[in-house]
């Protein structure tokens, strides 16, 4: 122990603390982490790199839109007729199927009563992407990936998709509490047969 006595920094209750340097490999990792963090910050967060993260996001979003459009161009989804969709909006059994699908699929963004959360309010007479039953069908089927609306056309069964459109049409004008403010253009709703 005599050979280490010159390296003792502290001694308390017979416990000695020695002045041992950190191992070189650990120091290399520490310095490497600092250099990597500085380079990452400069390149990505401060946008000194060739492209900023926002530009990458926008390019990815545009690529997603292009891919979805190309897919649907190659595999068209044939919607039911507007008359069938409107008839479904007047049929309580179809509306209930659509409501159940809405709660499972759409409520996270549009709210339990379609009042709008991060997605728009679906109960007023204002629509961002068109409010006819055909346009609602296309919006649900193809989505709007650039606005975080996923395409549900191939994920849902055709009868569920049609029922979902009928449900959305049937709740027009329901005025739920805490509704998100109107967005988009005013659309006069098509009449539901029998109402």
Tens of pLDDT, residue by residue over 79-116, are 889 898 888 889 999 999 999 999 999 999 999 999 99
For 23, residues 6+ apart whose C-beta sits below 8 A from its C-beta are none
- Which long-range contacts (C-beta less than 8 Å, at least 24 apart) are formed by 90-93? 90/170, 90/192, 90/193, 90/194, 90/195, 91/166
Chain centre to alpha carbon of residue 155: 16
Q: pLDDT tens digits, residue range 129-156?
A: 988 999 999 999 989 888 889 999 888 8
Q: Are 114 and 179 in contact (CB under 8 A)?
A: no
Q: What pLDDT is recorded for position 109?
A: 92
- Please give the Cα distance from 121 to 49 (Å, whole number): 40
Chain centre to alpha carbon of residue 68: 16
For 57, residues 6+ apart whose C-beta sits below 8 A from its C-beta are none
Q: What percent of the chain is predicted at pLDDT more than 70?
A: 92
- Please give the Cα distance from 67 to 143 (Å, whole number): 12
When the pLDDT of each residue in the chain is averaged and rounded to a whole number, the result is 86
Q: Hey, how many other C-beta atoms are within 10 angstroms of the C-beta on 93?
A: 9
Provide the whole-model pTM.
0.62
For 25, residues 6+ apart whose C-beta sits below 8 A from its C-beta are none
Across 53-61, average pLDDT: 83
């Amino acid at each position: 122990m005599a050979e280490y006595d010159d390296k003792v920094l502290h001694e308390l209750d017979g416990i000695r603390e020695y002045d041992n340097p950190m191992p070189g490999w650990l120091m290399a990792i520490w310095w490497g982490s600092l250099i990597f963090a500085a380079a990452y910050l400069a390149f990505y967060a401060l946008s000194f790199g060739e492209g900023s993260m926002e530009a990458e996001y926008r390019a990815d979003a545009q690529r997603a839109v292009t891919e979805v459009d190309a897919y649907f161009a190659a595999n068209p989804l044939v919607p039911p007729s507007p008359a069938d969709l409107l008839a479904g909006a007047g049929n309580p059994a179809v509306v209930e199927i659509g409501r159940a699908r809405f709660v499972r699929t759409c409520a996270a963004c549009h709210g339990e009563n379609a009042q709008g959360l991060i997605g728009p309010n679906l109960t007023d007479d204002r629509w961002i992407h068109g409010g006819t039953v055909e346009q609602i069908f296309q919006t649900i089927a193809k989505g709007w990936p650039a606005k975080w609306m996923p395409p549900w056309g191939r994920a849902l069964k055709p009868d569920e998709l049609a029922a979902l459109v009928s449900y959305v049409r049937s709740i027009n004008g329901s005025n739920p509490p805490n509704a998100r403010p109107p967005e988009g253009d005013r659309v006069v709703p098509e009449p539901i047969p029998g109402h």
